[in-house]
């Protein structure tokens, strides 16, 4: 299905959407047509009709409604608790303060500064290793026939459907036995093992769309399989690799269950793990929770905004195959 979507979005515009509406090259006039309409008519044309205007109002209203909770989170993170309890939407007499961020950064149980660093230390290798091993394993899946291929496929699908809770018990005992429980390394291994399934499947689908002729030509020129992989396959699959990197980064960074189970010392806590602890006992420390949350979500959200195209395309391709 991935291949279908790709062909329909990439090759279709020239073939179909044109539908003969454009002039052939020799029929294009020498000069551009002059503006026949006055500015007044042009202005009325540019202003949307009433139903369309209503549609805009509705669409913008819905989109704003969707981010109101995040707006509240941000407002709470920069205001003192007394004002938050009056309602973050009351903006008269607003005090702007970074005190919440300062407190969250050096939060006594598990300082956010340290937790964010831990999250980086776990996330970056989890992404890089998955990329490398995933691309390597995807290559034979896309190009060769080998025994047990179908069975492996089946296993990958099964793992993709499985809830993370299902592997927690086994991994808990494995990590205890090999002495990697409650360590960066242990959590990275769990994330890599868990992510490999979808990455292999995703990259394999992408590789199927790369024509094999290129490799055959290189093969005749005497390139080894390893050289072909490094000089042809990897560069050609760069867009897919970026998609995988962004999505895997977001998932590992946002993961809460695995750290909760496998990281037990407070100085190894990951950022998402610290947030629920910040609630406090009687009165919820909204400012603290909000500041910590904003710091945690900033990384994946900024990444999403920078690489939105890859993220969305990858997301669509990952689930529609």
Partner 1 sequence: MSLRDHIGDYRPAPEEARGIDREKAVVLAMFLVPGLTLFAIFSVGPIAYSAVGSVFSWEGFTIGQFTGLDNWIRTFRDPLFINWTNITEMQFPMGALAQNLLWVVIHVPVSTLLGLGLALLFADLTGRRILRSMVFLGFTVPTIVIGLVLLFVYDPQAGVFNAVLRAVGAEGLVRNWTQAPQLAIFALIAGGIWVQTGFSMLLYSSALSAIDPSLIESAKVDGAGPYRRFRDIIWPLVRPVTAVVVIMGIIWVMRVFDIVYAAGGSAGGPGHVYSVLGIEVYRAAFEAPIDYGKAMVVALVQLLIVAPLALYIARMN
Per CB under 8 A, which of residues 178..207 are in contact with partner 1? 189-190, 192-194, 196-197, 200
- Per CB under 8 A, contacts with partner 1 among 239-268 are 250, 253-254, 256-257, 260-261
Asked whether position 11 contacts partner 1 by CB under 8 A, the answer is no
The CB-of-95 to partner 1 minimum distance in angstroms stands at: 16
How far apart CA 194 and CA 88 sit, in angstroms, is: 40
Please tell me whether residue 96 adopts helix, strand or coil conformation.
Answer: coil
Asked whether position 139 contacts partner 1 by CB under 8 A, the answer is yes
Q: Which is nearer to partner 1, 111 or 275 (CB)?
A: 275
How buried is residue 271: exposed, middle or buried, by Cβ count under 10 Å (0-12/13-18/19+)?
buried
Q: Which is nearer to partner 1, 16 or 40 (CB)?
A: 16
CA angle 291, 258, 176 (to 5 degrees): 130
The CB-of-98 to partner 1 minimum distance in angstroms stands at: 19
The CB-of-84 to partner 1 minimum distance in angstroms stands at: 5
Among 43, 169, 185, 306, binds partner 1 (CB under 8 A): 169
Q: Which is nearer to partner 1, 36 or 144 (CB)?
A: 144
How far apart CA 15 and CA 18 sit, in angstroms, is: 7
The CB-of-286 to partner 1 minimum distance in angstroms stands at: 6
How far apart CA 122 and CA 273 sit, in angstroms, is: 13
Angle, to 10 degrees, between the axis of helix 238-254 and the axis of helix 184-208? 150
x/- map, 14-53, partner 1, by CB under 8 A = --xx-x-x--------------------------------
Q: How many helices, marked H, and strands, marked E, lie in the chain?
A: 18, 0
Among 174, 218, 236, 266, binds partner 1 (CB under 8 A): 174
x/- map, 60-99, partner 1, by CB under 8 A = x-xxx-xxxxx-xx--x-------xx-xxx----------
How far apart CA 267 and CA 116 sit, in angstroms, is: 11
Asked whether position 105 contacts partner 1 by CB under 8 A, the answer is no
x/- map, 203-242, partner 1, by CB under 8 A = ---------x---x--xx----xx--x-------------
How far apart CA 217 and CA 87 sit, in angstroms, is: 67
How far apart CA 268 and CA 309 sit, in angstroms, is: 33
The CB-of-20 to partner 1 minimum distance in angstroms stands at: 9
Q: How many residues bind partner 1 (CB under 8 A)?
A: 108
Transcribe 144-184 into DSSP letters.
Answer: ---TTHHHHHHHHHHHHHS-HHHHHHHHHHHHHHTT-TTSH
């Amino acid at each position: 299905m991935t291949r279908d979507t790709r062909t329909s979005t990439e090759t279709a515009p020239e073939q179909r959407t044109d539908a003969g509406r454009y002039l052939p090259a020799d029929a294009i006039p020498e000069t551009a047509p002059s503006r026949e309409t006055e500015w007044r008519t042009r202005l009325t044309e540019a202003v949307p009709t009433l139903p369309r205007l209503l549609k805009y109002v509705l669409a913008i209203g819905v989109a704003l409604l969707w981010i109101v909770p995040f707006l509240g989170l941000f407002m709470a993170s920069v205001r003192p608790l007394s004002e938050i309890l009056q309602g973050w939407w009351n903006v008269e007499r607003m005090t702007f303060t970074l005190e919440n961020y300062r407190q969250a950064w050096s939060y006594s149980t598990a300082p956010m500064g340290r937790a964010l660093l831990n999250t980086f230390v776990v996330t970056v290798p989890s992404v890089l290793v998955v990329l490398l091993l995933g691309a390597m394993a995807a290559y034979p899946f896309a190009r060769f026939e080998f025994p047990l291929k179908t069975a492996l496929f089946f296993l990958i699908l099964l793992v993709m459907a499985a809830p993370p809770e299902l592997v927690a018990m086994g991994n808990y005992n494995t990590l205890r036995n090999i002495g990697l429980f409650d360590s960066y390394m242990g959590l990275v291994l769990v994330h890599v093992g868990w992510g490999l399934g979808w990455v292999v499947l995703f990259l394999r689908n992408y590789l199927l769309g790369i024509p094999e002729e290129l490799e055959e030509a290189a093969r005749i020129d005497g390139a080894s399989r390893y050289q072909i992989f490094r000089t042809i396959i990897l560069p050609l699959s760069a867009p897919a690799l970026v998609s995988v990197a962004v999505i895997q980064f977001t998932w590992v960074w946002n993961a809460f269950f695995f750290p909760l189970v496998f990281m037990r010392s407070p100085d190894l806590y990951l950022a998402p793990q610290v947030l629920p602890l910040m609630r406090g006992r009687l009165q919820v420390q909204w400012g603290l929770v909000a500041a910590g949350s904003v710091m945690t979500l900033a990384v994946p959200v900024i990444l999403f905004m920078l690489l939105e195209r890859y993220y969305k395309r990858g997301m669509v391709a990952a689930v529609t195959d």
